[in-house]
Structure 1
């Protein structure tokens, strides 16, 4: 039985995995369901806390009735904001989450509202944008977003063929950084030329005819393109880059992990910008 109510003191309670709302939440584990509903799931105390502190509050907070004490602080904060809180059984929690050992809480959040035009506006004042061209591993994408957040980048642009931002593994690996800066999806062949027309330098990594990242001037408005783990930056996108850089390496490693390489470049840009 599902009772009606809001807040933590008279929370709804759902015990059955066959409940209609549970079915809706479970659909959010798949991209098709996320696209249809325009929402995604976040799991765990830290991510829910980050969402509560952002400009994109959750639609609903769902917690384990058996582990209420573990999320008491979150429930109080959610209650003060007038957010709906729903207590559920451990079976329901396991049904709706992606991890083997479910956290005591998850939340349903609207997809981020940012658009590529927001990045263009931010780039007019020496902006720094990480551009993702076909990254497939959700952990790599999440790490790059965390690095972009850490260096104070203006935002992140996700090109076609990139893993879904709202994939549960991607969301977890951002550690909440997806709530800290604009992250948008768009066609790179459309948006990179528009950025270049506004004076933004489009920079990509490659081995041939490239300068060291330590010799390149990242103090100017820059959109830095990070390519696919195996193939690198696609030919179509590479052709749109006006500048090319490489990371000098003295050891015998042939290459670096995509997320690691992106992090090195982003932190060098931060160092130059002071």
Structure 2
């Protein structure tokens, strides 16, 4: 959802709406209240050409500012962890995955295979927009989402509470042979950079998917689907 104009944007921030980010035209300045509230809430302010603001709002009467509001609310990461412990299940950790199509596919699979939600970093992460909603086939409305400044710190807290951190990355043990300890955080990294070093160092297990083809690589949403199926089989043996 898009709202525009100085006062509507300020009121959305004051009302603690799930604002993804603020776009401000290059030739204008954001109000002091917007800068202050964004700083307090860790919301990014992005400078763009005025034409971009006009394209998104469909009008020239936009005061050079708009807010992108997520269609789903974000919850504290502690609440997401609690849900995983109560269900003895898992949640996804999407480490700097920015592509909305991949994110939507992963979210859809997560919901189908019993995951409780998604943890993601505030920076360099996908927006929950119309593309994600469509790619997920609406699964975004059935999962919990949490954003954190530091995946490392949040996952350290999860481990200290008794959870396990499982990373899907090259060079690990065969995913078919592992025994998942639940609840767990299932970590997937971007296709270009993989899982962050700081998160990789926290891993209780690093798992890899064996491949025999000439291409020898999988799209992150495909790799994630395989990994989530392996975790889901743990639920099947319990039921």
Shorter-normalised TM-score: what interval?
0.5 to 0.7
Count of aligned pairs between the two proteins = 184
Paired position in structure 2 for 1:203: 166
SS for the counterpart of 1:214 is helix
Secondary structure at 1:207's aligned position in 2? strand
Provide the residue aligned with 2:113 in structure 1.
Answer: 151
TM-score, structure 2 normalization: 0.68
Aligned-pair distance for 1:167? Answer: 2.9
Counterpart residue number, 1:268: 230
Alignment of 1:14-33 (within 5 A): 25=2, 27=4
Per the alignment, residue 82 of structure 2 pairs with: 121
Q: 2:142 aligns with which of 180, 186, 198?
A: 180
1:217 matched to 2:179? The reply is yes
Residue 206 of structure 2 aligns to a residue whose secondary structure is: strand
Alignment TM-score, normalising by the size of structure 1: 0.60
CA distance 1:198–1:142, change in 2 (3 Å): same
Superposed displacement of residue 40, structure 1: 7.3
Aligned-residue RMSD, C-alpha: 2.9
Structure 1 gap ranges (5+): 1-23, 42-93, 98-107
**How do residues 1-274 of structure 1 correspond to structure 2 at under 5 angstroms?**
25=2, 27=4, 36=13, 38=17, 111-125=72-86, 126-186=88-148, 187-208=150-171, 210-218=172-180, 220-274=182-236
Structure 1 CA distance, aligned partners of 2:98 and 2:74?
Answer: 23
What SS does structure 2 have at the residue aligned with 1:122? helix
Distance (Å, rounded) in 2 between the aligned partners of 1:139 and 1:110: 16
Q: Which runs of 5+ in 2 are unaligned?
A: 21-54, 59-68
C-alpha separation in 1, matches of 2:71 and 2:130: 14
The change in CA–CA distance for 1:243 and 1:109 in structure 2 (over 3 A counts) is: closer
**Structure 1 residue 184, shift from structure 2 partner:** 1.1
Change (3 A) 1:109 1:222: closer
